[in-house]
A and B are shown apart, each in its own frame.
Chain A
Amino acid sequence: MLDAIQRLGRVTLGFFERLGRGHLFLLQVLVSLPGIVLRPGLVLRQMYSVGVLTLVIIVVSGLFVGMVMGLQGYNTLVDFGAEESLGVLVALSLVRELGPVVTALLFAGRAGSALSAEIGLMKATEQLSGMEMMAVDPIQRVIAPRFLAAFLSMPLLAAIFSAVGVYGGWFIGVGLLGVDDGAFWAQMQDKVDLYDDIYNGVIKSIVFGFVVGWIALFEGSDTLPTAEGVSRATTQTVVHSALVVLGLDFVLTALMFGD
């Protein structure tokens, strides 16, 4: 019994210690962000590997999610004779929820895990130590550009996801099921609000980009420098990102739409 309490205490302390380290890490990254304004090349290269290489999975998933929404939405709406609202349904769900959230989950799986594996391996092979000994700050040269790239890519990817999804829904609804083309777009234009819907969706995806980038890079840097440590870090990145994204999504939704 005492043993169990002791263990619980140790685990709890360990958790808070790690949380503290994570925040210190974030602080270091944020402080060194201004320094990389002088080296946009570093960020652009990372945006390619973080953003562009994630594009395929985002486009394909967006298309299918939109198509499923078109199908499901049509079947529900047609009972009420409201199938012309399909455009609104598809667009709102994508822009407010599915775009930011699904993109963040996919992003964590594709780019986040790759980031933490890369950083973990750089640590395990002493590349980060080596930089430090060359008087180069690895936070500034390695971590910060990747963080910024993740942070900037996410809203763009989420926007692409939503846009492709809308076309997926349109293809099913208008193309195959015979919803009126004009009504589909007109209702969407009418009901989707720039501030309430699109801005809030963008804010969500910015927040998600921030936390996924943070988690991935912290897990990578904080890992034990062994093969086992690296594989653990990648798994943790995906699991923690998913949990944090879904939790934050609830909080943000409550704040934005819960009045």
Chain B
Amino acid sequence: MPEPVVKIRDLRFARGNRLIFDGVNLDIYADCVTAIMGPSGTGKTTLLKLIGGQLRPLSGSIRVYGEEVPHLGRQALYRLRRRIGMLFQTGALLTDIDVFENVAYPIREHTRLPEALVRDLVLMKLEAVGLRGAAQLMPGQLSGGMARRVALARAIALDPMMVLYDEPFTGQDPISMGVLVKLIRELNDALDLTSVVVSHDVAETCAIADYAYLLSDGKVVEHGEPDALRESSSDWSQQFLKALPDGPVAFHYPAVSFRDDLLQGGQR
């Protein structure tokens, strides 16, 4: 087995008094699509920010391309980030410049290429996501799915080695969902990328993932190939993967008994 490109060991991270990760171990291998799934609020976005070095863990090791991310200085961290593209949940496009300039932004910031070459590069990336025709639109004029594809074009503008996707499918209609699913897989294979897809859309994510992790309550509860996970015997995984309304994850938010609540009379 080759060495993983991202290797997380014993990761612990807290927000305030709340422990969000408590001993997470996770490996991501080159050229694969790795899915990280879990309910909202388990810390999937947080995990991506830890990998990108925007947050620092309480303890544990996060090794990306052989470098220990929490120990990197600014310069080294920025150098590492240039090899990683990240697609934010909202797209995070710069709203004061048009689509073309958004995709050109990282190229202009990090290289001194002549204008003609920048133009060719940008059009190439936009063509890859099928939005070359939208180059002159402003981000505010794009639909949610288009904005995410533009953000994807921007994320691959500098030919990164790895792309992190934060909930790429959330809030998409079936067609643009299908487009994104196909794009992620195709870009992964055509550009020899390593992809990490964080999501709670089980069906779509499982369809393109080579390997999947299930997160819950600060831990990896299960991992394996998607097909194997579906056969899993754990109640929790079954509930999550099959979207059952009740199970180990209760339908009710924790509360005093309904009877006591009703008998309390007028107080809230």
Report which A residues bind B (CB closer than 8 A): 121-122, 125-127, 129-130, 132-137, 141
Contacts and interface: CB of A to CB of B under 8 A. Distances in A.
A207 B177 CA distance: 53
Given A125-B95, A129-B92, A133-B86, 19 more contacts: A125-B92, A126-B88, A126-B89, A126-B92, A127-B95, A129-B54, A129-B88, A130-B86, A132-B52, A132-B81, A133-B52, A134-B81, A134-B109, A134-B154, A135-B79, A135-B81, A135-B106, A135-B109, A141-B109
19 contacts: A121-B95, A125-B92, A126-B88, A126-B89, A126-B92, A127-B92, A129-B54, A130-B88, A130-B92, A130-B94, A132-B81, A133-B54, A133-B81, A133-B88, A134-B81, A135-B78, A135-B79, A136-B109, A137-B78
Nearest to A45: B96
A134 B105 contact: yes
A129 B81 CA distance: 12
Q: Is the interface of A mostly helix, strand, loop or mixed?
A: helix
Contacts of A130: 86, 88, 92-94
Contacts of A141: 109
A24 to B, nearest CB: 15
A122 B154 CA distance: 17
Interface residues of B, number: 21
Contacts of B230: none
Given A133-B52, A133-B54, A133-B86, A127 B93 contact: yes
Nearest to A128: B92
Interface string B94-117: 110000000001100110000000
Contacts of A135: 78-79, 81-82, 106, 109-110
B102 to A, nearest CB: 10
A123 to B, nearest CB: 11
Nearest to B48: A133
A129 B90 CA distance: 11
Contacts of A137: 78
Contacts of A132: 52, 54, 81
Contacts of B35: none
Closest 3 A-B residue pairs measured CB to CB?
A130-B92, A126-B92, A135-B78
Contacts of A125: 90, 92, 95
B70 to A, nearest CB: 16
B229 to A, nearest CB: 29
B84 interface: yes
A229 B90 CA distance: 18
A129 B105 CA distance: 15
Contacts of A134: 81, 105-106, 109, 154
Nearest to B109: A136
A127 B102 CA distance: 11
A199 to B, nearest CB: 37
B90 A126 contact: yes
A217 B88 CA distance: 24
B95 A133 contact: no
A6 to B, nearest CB: 17
Nearest to B89: A126
Interface in B44-61: 49, 52, 54
